[in-house]
Amino acid sequence: MPVLLEARDLVKHYPKVKAVDGVSFDVAQGICFGLLGPNGAGKSTTIEMLEGLSKPTGGQVMFRGAPLGADYRDHIGIQFQTTALQDFLTVRENLTFFGALYPARRSMDEIIERCNLGDFLDRDTRKLSGGQRQRALLGIALINDPELLFLDEPTTGLDPQARRNFWELIGDIKRAGKTLLLTTHYMEEAYALCDEIGIMDHGHLIARGTPKALLAQHFDEKVLELPSSLLAGREWSFPVHHSEAGAEIRTRSVNSVLSELLGAGVDLTQLHQRPPSLDDLFLELTGKDERS
Amino acid sequence: MGFSFQRFRAATIARSIEFLRDRSALAWNLMFPVLMVVGFAAIFSGPGQPVFKVAVVASAEPTTEMHPFFGTPHVQFYREPELEAAKRKVARHRVDLLLDFSGDKPRYWTNPESPKGELVEKLLLGSGGVAPEKQQATGKPIRYVDWAVPGILGVNLMFSCLWGVGYVIVRYRKSGHLKRLNATPLRALEFVSAQIVSRLALVMTTTTMMFVGCNLFMHFPMEGSYIDLFILTLIGSLSLTSMGLLVAARVGSEEISGGLLNVISSPMMILSGAFFSLDGSPRWVQGLAEIFPLTHMLAAARSIMLDGTRLIDLGYPLLILVGTTVVCMSFGSLLFKWTQD
């Protein structure tokens, strides 16, 4: 697939901070690319440069192989994490207003149907629920039928049901052939939606690839989970990681661990085995818990 | 990418709908001048203020040796260089009484429509000394409210222009709405123009409604052209809106913008001659008042309404208003920032 968006050695310096320091990657047309990183990693700054809202101190952003031009904003859609719409306007009026700002736009009916806006189309945007608001913002981001859609933590603050519904919408957009660039704090979301991810830390891109490839590259272990209370206060021959969720054992030799646990009389009825997740990968690479 | 009338139109409509649906803001814009007009009419139709202002045309500073009336407490005496200009001030309620000591025999003028003039005349005649000769005021005398109404409407217009643009843009910036708009093809000039045009349309509509409404009950004199007055008000509103834009160009906090707008609007309200004439006040105060566009707009509006001056003859105030607009609009557009950072 051809490359749609390319970051070439992007650098962004602020007076006292080097927020982004030589980040390069490309996003192929039609994929969903997830940019992940702990707070302060530089991902928001990187995204703003890719959106054309912030000028890089160094490096370049290329769209369809050329530097960003005056008409770049005609081809992209952005859903910001926090944004306000024009007060006192309904969802329909906001769609009409934003639609009028573009030379070409999708039909209102199509946007309403795709984003399920019909139930609250004539409601003042100040009176929408979190999920409705995000769907309205997505509708606005899609109003110009963009080739590239930026989604900045689009499900933060939504309840699990609303988040799942939103994933379905994003899945539809992907299937329609759009290219998406997503930032999220939810590893589960990145795993479900992204074809490719990049992980940033301290202004650098420290890993990039498909979620499965990255997991395979960094983990050849299994993860065993048990309640912390069963393992606490004893010496073990394998490392145990305790967290609020319980105790985790990462091992290539599941059988020997199980033997040691059985030998110590540990009740294994609550034992779970799972493959490593993006959360584990994130922790492994950045040393930080994304949700903290 | 040039200026797009489609984008400008969309932004203008969106802002106008927002204002019209914001009932509290709309009500305040309509109610404020009504309350002011009623309040001032009530205050100045009554017994008047305890302090009187008397203009004196004389070759020397007025002293009690010249006339015992000059020793009267609670009366402000100041010298006027020109008799004819001073007579107009009597007719316009800018001074309560005029005394002419430049000739052989002292003379005085009052406005028969002024309750303060009537009282201060009694003080003069009861003060002893040579009784000055009463003169007929020339021209049609006006009531205080006739003089004050342009000021009241002007102050309302000033607040609406400054805050309606200055405060609202900062609120948009703080809430992230400007950042969202910046992600579209909308250009800064289109956005700024839309805010100004929307505000001008609303301000001109509400001010015209207020003017017509007040005129139905109070019957203001109108010696000049309504079209001239409308054009002058439009240019004046544009200059005040541009000042609001300059304040809002970069500020990211509503508290700071509110403070800055107060710093501009408070002295303008007091010193522009909206409610009280600055005649007789220190020179530096009168000089300070000259820097405010509202001062020139009100002086020109009163000149059209009360003296019948044509707009074409109001070159100086128009120059000030247009100059303020060009300077503030240019710097406001150049300095404009979409985001808080």
Return left, alpha or beta for A15; rule: phi > 0 is left, psi -120 to 50 is alpha, else beta: alpha
Whether residue B53 is found in the same domain as residue B87: yes
Give, for A7, the enclosing helix (H) or strand (E).
strand A3-13
Residues of A in contact with B18 (CB under 8 A): 86-89
- Residue A72's alpha-carbon distances to A66, A147, B131, in angstroms, are 10, 10, 84
Q: What tokens appear for A111 in the block?
A: 């946007």
Handedness of CA B61, B65, B68, B73 (dihedral sign): positive
Q: How far is residue B223's CA from residue B302's CA, in Å, rounded to a whole number?
A: 10
| Interface contact flag, A84 B1, Cβ < 8 Å | no
pLDDT one-digit tens code per residue, A139-176: 999 999 999 999 988 888 778 887 888 888 888 888 88
Residue A116 scores a pLDDT above 50: yes
In a domain, B250, yes or no: yes
Whether residue B182 is found in the same domain as residue B232: yes
- Delimit the domains of chain A by residue range: 3-216, 220-275
Whether residue B57 is found in the same domain as residue B186: no
Domain that holds residue B243: 5-42+143-335
Whether residue B117 is found in the same domain as residue B147: no
Whether residue B11 is found in the same domain as residue B127: no
For the beta sheet containing A3-13, the strands, ordered from the edge strand earlier in sequence to the opposite edge, are: A18-28, A3-13, A58-63, A66-67
Give the mean pLDDT of A186-204: 88
Whether residue B78 is found in the same domain as residue B168: no
pLDDT one-digit tens code per residue, B215-233: 888 788 888 999 999 999 9
Whether residue B36 is found in the same domain as residue B72: no
- Residue B162's alpha-carbon distances to B112, B158, B244, B245, B264, in angstroms, are 38, 6, 4, 8, 9
Q: Please state, rounded to an integer, the average pLDDT across all residues of chain A.
A: 87
In a domain, B119, yes or no: yes
Residue B321 scores a pLDDT above 90: yes
User: Which of the two residues, B77 and B21, has the higher pLDDT score?
Assistant: B77
Predicted pLDDT at A94: 92
- The answer to whether residues B85 and B93 touch, using CB atoms and an 8 Å cutoff, is no
Whether residue B199 is found in the same domain as residue B268: yes
| Interface contact flag, B10 A100, Cβ < 8 Å | yes
**Last residue in a domain, options B73, B108, B134:** B134
A98 in contact with B at a CB cutoff of 8 Å?
yes
Residue of A199, A203, A194, A200 whose CA lies nearest to A174: A194
Q: How far is residue B209's CA from residue A234's CA, in Å, rounded to a whole number?
A: 85
The band of B42, judged by pLDDT with boundaries at 50, 70 and 90, is low
Whether residue B162 is found in the same domain as residue B36: yes
Residue type, A288: K
Residues of B in contact with A51 (CB under 8 A): 183
**DSSP 8-state secondary structure symbol assigned to residue B303:** I
DSSP structure string for A137-173: HHHHHTTT--SEEEEESTTTT--HHHHHHHHHHHHHH
User: Which of the two residues, B72 and A84, has the higher pLDDT score?
Assistant: B72
Q: How far is residue A173's CA from residue A139's CA, in Å, rounded to a whole number?
A: 11
| Interface contact flag, B183 A88, Cβ < 8 Å | no
Which of B13, B21, B177 has its CB closest to that of A84?
B177
The band of B320, judged by pLDDT with boundaries at 50, 70 and 90, is very high
Residue B48 scores a pLDDT above 50: no
Residue A268 scores a pLDDT above 60: yes
Identify the three-state secondary structure at position A19.
strand
pLDDT one-digit tens code per residue, B2-27: 788 888 888 888 888 887 887 777 77
Residue A78 scores a pLDDT above 90: yes
A109 in contact with B at a CB cutoff of 8 Å?
no
B219 in contact with A at a CB cutoff of 8 Å?
no
Interface probe for A, chosen from B16, B178, B184, B341 (most Cβ of A below 10 Å), is B184
> What is the number of domains present in chain B?
2
Backbone φ, ψ for residue B49 (5° rounding): -90, 155
In a domain, B341, yes or no: no
| Interface contact flag, B186 A85, Cβ < 8 Å | no
Question: How far is Cα of residue A125 from the mean position of the Cα atoms in its chain?
Answer: 25
Residues of B in contact with A84 (CB under 8 A): 172, 175-177, 180
Query: Nearest CA of chain A to the CA of B187: how many Å?
Result: 10
Whether residue B259 is found in the same domain as residue B307: yes
Residues of B in contact with A91 (CB under 8 A): none
Handedness of CA B89, B295, B159, B309 (dihedral sign): positive
Q: How far is residue B16's CA from residue B198's CA, in Å, rounded to a whole number?
A: 6
Lowest model confidence (mean pLDDT) among A25-39, A92-106, A263-277, B26-40: B26-40
User: Which of the two residues, B85 and A46, has the higher pLDDT score?
Assistant: A46
**Last residue in a domain, options B76, B109, B134:** B134
Q: Is the ipTM of this complex over 0.85?
A: no
Give the mean pLDDT of B310-316: 94
Query: Nearest CA of chain B to the CA of A232: how many Å?
Result: 49
A84 in contact with B at a CB cutoff of 8 Å?
yes
Helix ranges (H only) for B61-187 are 83-91, 115-125, 144-175, 177-182
- Which CATH number do you get for residue B99? 3.40.190.10
- The answer to whether residues A129 and B42 touch, using CB atoms and an 8 Å cutoff, is no
**Last residue in a domain, options B106, B134, B162:** B134
A88 in contact with B at a CB cutoff of 8 Å?
yes
- The answer to whether residues A250 and A279 touch, using CB atoms and an 8 Å cutoff, is no
Query: Nearest CA of chain B to the CA of A84: how many Å?
Result: 5
pLDDT one-digit tens code per residue, B176-215: 889 899 999 998 889 989 999 999 999 999 899 888 888 8
B3 in contact with A at a CB cutoff of 8 Å?
no
| Interface contact flag, B176 A82, Cβ < 8 Å | yes
In a domain, B23, yes or no: yes
Question: Model pTM greater than 0.90?
Answer: no
Q: How far is residue A254's CA from residue A231's CA, in Å, rounded to a whole number?
A: 16
Predicted pLDDT at B228: 95
Predicted pLDDT at B50: 43
DSSP structure string for B195-216: HHHHHHHHHHHHHHHHHHHHHH
| Interface contact flag, A83 B176, Cβ < 8 Å | yes
Q: What is the largest CA-CA distance in chain A?
A: 72
Q: How far is residue A187's CA from residue A193's CA, in Å, rounded to a whole number?
A: 10
| Interface contact flag, A102 B185, Cβ < 8 Å | yes
In a domain, B99, yes or no: yes
Backbone φ, ψ for residue B196 (5° rounding): -70, -45
Compute chain A's Rg from CA coordinates: 22
Whether residue B222 is found in the same domain as residue B318: yes
Q: What is the dihedral of CA B225, B228, B230, B236, to 10 degrees?
A: -140
Residue B47 scores a pLDDT above 60: no
Give the mean pLDDT of A98-109: 89
- The CATH topology of domain A3-216 is Rossmann fold (3.40.50)
Residue A76 scores a pLDDT above 80: yes
Residue A283 scores a pLDDT above 80: no
- Cα within 13 Å of Cα(B243), Cβ side: 27
- Please enumerate in sequence order all residues whose Cβ is within 8 A of that of B197, keeping only pairs 6 or more positions apart, or say none: B8, B12
Residues of A in contact with B186 (CB under 8 A): 101
β-bridge partners, A34: A182, A197
User: Which of the two residues, A274 and A262, has the higher pLDDT score?
Assistant: A262
Residue of B238, B341, B144, B237 whose CA lies nearest to A55: B341
Residue of B150, B312, B153 whose CA lies nearest to B228: B312
Predicted pLDDT at B27: 73
Give the mean pLDDT of B295-299: 94
- The answer to whether residues B117 and B110 touch, using CB atoms and an 8 Å cutoff, is yes
